[in-house]
Amino acid sequence: MKKTLLLVLLCLLFCVCAHSEESGSERLLVSENERLALYLTGDNCQIDIEDKLTGKTWSSTMNDETAEGLKIIPAQQKRITSLLAVNCTNLESGLGDVNNMALMAEKDLTSSYELIENGVRLTYYLGTYQVGVTIDILLDGASLLVRMPYTGIVEDGDFSLVSVDVLPFLFSATDTAQGFFLYPDGCGAIMEFTDFAHYREPAKLYSVYGDYQRQPTLLDMFSQEAADTLFPVFGMNRAGHGLMAIIEDGAETARISVNSSNNIIGINYLFANFQYRRSFEDKRVTTRDIKVFDKEDIKVDYQMRILFMEEDDPTYSTMALTWRDYLLEKGVVRRVETSPTVAIDLFMNAPEEGLIFDTPRTVTTLQQARDILTALNSLGVENIRASVKGWTRGGYGKTPDRFPINGAIGKDSDLKALLDTAGEIGATLSLTANFMEAKADQRGYSHRNDVVYTGNHTILTDLDETVFLLSPDVAKDKFDTFLSKASTFALGAVRLERIGQYVGYNYATNRYFTAADALNVYLAMLDEAKAALGTVETEGGNTCLLGHADFFTRVPYEDAGYQFTTTSVPFYQIALHGLVDYAGEPGNLSSDLEREVLRWVEMGYTPYFELTYDNTEELMYTDYQSLFSAQYSAWQDRVAWAAKQFTEGPLAALHDQMMTEHLRVSDTLIKVTYENGTVVYVNYASEPASIDGVTVDAMGWTAVEN
């Protein structure tokens, strides 16, 4: 009798398992067009996308052919087969712990789907945490749209939603796969799957458009700065097939996660993290690190577009061109219309702090600035984009900047005379100003009411409380006051510092701003400046400012140097050259100007220098000590030489030309092709190099037209 009962139970168990496996493997076609077909599978927890053009089927679960036979523990198996991973925390406990739950690992998961136009709406409810999310996945021509509407969030219990990992294993590969990840570290970075250096490296979350809490002015000298994250794009080439993702809506709050293979899960994966609550360190506890999260969630509707590359074996250049085509189609960018040869910052004055009073240290006056521009023009440097830096009362760094002009450098009539000189030689002159930050010893703002608060009700400042961030509306008010006065000088441009390096927010009760709110304020500032003056320049190159700013400075040449990165690539420059003007770091601050110029040639940068009239020893005891070599009399010949590299010969015709390919022939030899047929070869080696029948000098470049 017992044997018979046991046999019956085994048969029932087999039937249940067989039914579960069968239901999990069902494939439901939810949408189809000429290019793509979208399927729902895996108990509503997985999707497949069939690309009819390439014959490739992509899956939200890890389906890399090289993963066959890869040993993965059951818990991780559920993770790599889940459409989403939901991150929750218990706000009441206050411990800052986050539970990361993959859909298929949640034993009390309730899921449902609804067919909508061109796709499917999926609803998930994690019963253990009483948290629910909704995601829309639909086809849009040759791309896949992923939407997470805010109205689809449900929080019924003690747990609250922190963020959602979206399609975490759509972009994934093993260490034996051929290909790479592309992600927005600096100007662009790639991790090759076969590069063993990434193995067991910690995961990294890149905050799109910058980490507001870890900007350089808030960190001490021992803290590591956050990586520059200029664009909301990432991609993958796996075994000759490519994917690319663009975060279209909510990018200012989103993050991009790069994850390396390790002993637990031998898979590399890359995904977008949609954030709903930020974390902050609890300053009340000093014995250990405890994170607190926003009590109120960020009300944002996210949208991400996934593009399926048509080309075989797409490169980072291919992906950059795809993104550029996207920007042009959306009308975000257009051809540049200016043709500057060199950008010059004219540094004026900085304060040397004393026990009671500051001592102004002047290295350039407005009259001397006229002499610098005239001298450069006499050497053949034309179309100069000049900016006056350190002109404000108190000197450079005494932010927020405001009129009147610092008496140590001149007066209103001197600025007007400088503007006249600039106009006579065909130069553009701007004032560099910072309205995003405020020094503690400055007047004109409230140290309690006008500054940025974090989600744990503390003021966002540095350890010594010497630098504060201004609320976006306060920054706008300071800017409006400046613009009203600046307009009386007939300025042709303004340079706004910090505004292109990060997107802010404010949790102050009386002036709450989300990141989206703050970005709208910044864009309004740029648009007003452009309407009033004609040209707007920013420090930093965040692409959320495209179409609003005409010139970016301090655009990075490379990545932040994390161990999992194989190499940096000029993804940013390939996509945007000919559509926006940009510069890197001042050449006179480089230890090797010759190499710096080669990078300008390779990546299409505007030559950039920061100059003074007097010796910079005067600045030795100020906070502006980085300007160690800038006296124009020592640099004017080199500035003229660098400018002529871009105004004489083939490079002169490339300013408004778009790149079509950037190819790293070797570690030291680069080949860049432009749409007009010109090919530029750059050789960083100490020996000459030959390529395509062309010899390139050691530490030199050669351009071949057509």
Name which of 220-229, 399-408, 559-568, 642-651 the model is least confident about. Answer: 220-229
User: Angle at Cα 414 formed by Cα 410 and Cα 420, nearest 5°?
Assistant: 155
Which residue(s) pair with 41 in the sheet?
Answer: 46
Name which of 54-63, 343-352, 573-582 the model is least confident about. Answer: 54-63
Residue 42 placed within a domain: yes
Q: How confident is the model at residue 18 (pLDDT cuts 50, 70, 90)?
A: very low
Which residue(s) pair with 349 in the sheet?
Answer: 362
Question: What ranges make up the beta strands (E) of 557-691?
Answer: 567-568, 581-582, 608-611, 659-664, 669-674, 679-683, 689-691
Domain limit, last residue, from 301, 330, 359? 330
Residue 577 placed within a domain: no
- Indicate whether 174 and 118 sit together in one domain: yes
Which are the contacts of 667, defined by CB distance < 8 A and separation ≥ 6? none
Residue 392 placed within a domain: yes
On the question of pLDDT at 287 being above 60, the answer is no
Which pLDDT tens digit goes with each residue over 116-139? 999 999 999 999 999 999 999 999
- Indicate whether 274 and 317 sit together in one domain: yes
Q: What is the pLDDT of residue 63?
A: 72
Which are the contacts of 294, defined by CB distance < 8 A and separation ≥ 6? 277, 278, 455, 507
Range 380-399 average pLDDT? 94
Dihedral angle over CA of 348, 354, 356, 359, nearest 10: -30
Residue 284 placed within a domain: yes
Taking the C-alpha atoms of residue 160 and residue 294, their distance in angstroms, rounded to an integer, is 10
Taking the C-alpha atoms of residue 534 and residue 67, their distance in angstroms, rounded to an integer, is 56
Number of domains observed in the structure of the chain: 3
Residues 184 and 209: beta-carbon distance below 8 Å: no
Q: What is the pLDDT of residue 77?
A: 84
- Indicate whether 90 and 118 sit together in one domain: yes
Q: What is the pLDDT of residue 283?
A: 59
The residue among 358, 374, 352, 292 whose CA lies nearest residue 89 is 292
On the question of pLDDT at 453 being above 70, the answer is yes
Instruction: Name the average pLDDT for the chain.
Output: 91
Two tokens, residue 74 = 């059951």
Taking the C-alpha atoms of residue 573 and residue 198, their distance in angstroms, rounded to an integer, is 25
- Indicate whether 281 and 422 sit together in one domain: no
Question: What ranges make up the beta strands (E) of 309-456?
Answer: 342-347, 349-352, 359-362, 384-389, 428-433, 437-439
Q: What is the pLDDT of residue 8?
A: 33
Residue 121 placed within a domain: yes
- Indicate whether 442 and 457 sit together in one domain: yes
- Indicate whether 319 and 409 sit together in one domain: no
Taking the C-alpha atoms of residue 256 and residue 209, their distance in angstroms, rounded to an integer, is 11
Residues 415 and 346: beta-carbon distance below 8 Å: no
On the question of pLDDT at 207 being above 70, the answer is yes
Residue 18 placed within a domain: no
Task: Please tell me what DSSP assigns to residue 240.
Answer: T
Structural domain of residue 90, as residue ranges? 28-330
- Residue 699 sits in a domain whose CATH number is 2.60.40
Q: How confident is the model at residue 2 (pLDDT cuts 50, 70, 90)?
A: very low
- Residue 76 sits in a domain whose CATH number is 2.70.98
Which pLDDT tens digit goes with each residue over 292-341? 898 899 999 999 999 999 999 999 999 999 999 999 999 999 998 877 78
- Residue 346 sits in a domain whose CATH number is 3.20.20.80
Taking the C-alpha atoms of residue 248 and residue 236, their distance in angstroms, rounded to an integer, is 18
Q: What is the pLDDT of residue 337?
A: 82
Domain limit, last residue, from 298, 330, 362? 330
- Indicate whether 325 and 381 sit together in one domain: no
Which are the contacts of 19, defined by CB distance < 8 A and separation ≥ 6? none
Give the SS3 label for residue 593.
helix
On the question of pLDDT at 684 being above 60, the answer is yes
- Indicate whether 450 and 315 sit together in one domain: no
Two tokens, residue 156 = 């019924």
Q: What is the pLDDT of residue 64?
A: 64
- Indicate whether 465 and 492 sit together in one domain: yes
Question: What ranges make up the beta strands (E) of 367-507?
Answer: 384-389, 428-433, 437-439, 467-469, 493-496
Residue 325 placed within a domain: yes
Which pLDDT tens digit goes with each residue over 557-574? 999 999 999 999 999 999
Name which of 76-80, 320-324, 634-638 the model is least confident about. Answer: 76-80
Q: What is the pLDDT of residue 309?
A: 96
Range 274-289 average pLDDT? 74
- Indicate whether 240 and 362 sit together in one domain: no
Range 65-70 average pLDDT? 70
51 or 458: which leads in pLDDT: 51
Per DSSP, the chain holds a count of helices (H) and strands (E) of 10, 41
On the question of pLDDT at 282 being above 70, the answer is no
Residue 334 phi/psi, 5° resolution? -150, 175
Q: How confident is the model at residue 4 (pLDDT cuts 50, 70, 90)?
A: very low
Which residue bears the tokens 């405020």?
438
Q: What is the pLDDT of residue 10?
A: 34
Residues 382 and 425: beta-carbon distance below 8 Å: yes
The residue among 557, 577, 402 whose CA lies nearest residue 482 is 402
Q: What is the pLDDT of residue 284?
A: 56
Range 455-463 average pLDDT? 89
Which pLDDT tens digit goes with each residue over 235-250? 999 999 999 999 999 9
Range 215-229 average pLDDT? 81
Cα-based distances in Å from 223 to 216, 226, 470, 555: 9, 9, 22, 21
- Indicate whether 221 and 348 sit together in one domain: no
On the question of pLDDT at 12 being above 50, the answer is no
C-alpha of 126 from chain center? 33
Q: What is the pLDDT of residue 286?
A: 53
- Indicate whether 438 and 309 sit together in one domain: no
The residue among 586, 627, 218, 225 whose CA lies nearest residue 390 is 627
Residue 703 placed within a domain: yes
- DSSP, residue by residue, 293-337: E-SSPP---EEEEEEE--SSS--HHHHHHHHHHHHHHHTS-----
On the question of pLDDT at 171 being above 80, the answer is yes
